[in-house]
A and B are shown apart, each in its own frame.
Chain A
């Protein structure tokens, strides 16, 4: 079993819809990261969080440490949000090594 699991693997939405991507992990972590990878391959860091909630524009990330779960929400989705969203965790027991989920491929149709 992977230490970081994302769901769904693929998601298709209509422009304007609210999107939620989930990330579950099975180990003690120091921080959780949400990353965005565009079709060209480049990766951008969206959020790093260790508790609570963060918001940036139409993106919201939440984490529940007790339940070992994080969600990334996209409000009023737009075709330019189409990308792969990757969850990564810093694992305490491994010297804060970053372990990555397999990613969620999001397609927003106009």
Chain B
């Protein structure tokens, strides 16, 4: 089945540790995105990538890093520089990279990160 997978669903880390969240899609989509969701707030864009080997900062990129070495994969690293990393992280993809983010986005199931 085509879709987006994120792993793991729940992740616990100690403060000061870097952690990498996985996002894989087999939809052959060019564009991929990472969002952060906090209780009572709308989703906020962390990073996005329109094409392999290229990515751009979103609204809240500080303390995060990404890579896009393969079309189907867009991992997100939450570094120790991120002040409040505990949140729900959602990955998404869309088909048309040249139209950036107006196309329908397909979301993964999310990863809930808790930093202890």
Contact = CB atoms under 8 A, between A and B. Distances in A.
Q: Does B associate with A?
A: yes
A33 B100 contact: no
B42 A44 contact: no
Interface in B83-110: 88, 90, 92, 99-110
B110 A100 contact: no
A97 B56 CA distance: 12
Contacts, number: 57
A52 interface: no
A51 interface: no
A74 to B, nearest CB: 20
A30 B100 CA distance: 11
Given A41-B88, A86-B43, A33 B109 contact: no
A33 B44 CA distance: 15
B42 A43 contact: no
Interface of B: 40-45, 88, 90, 92, 99-110, 112
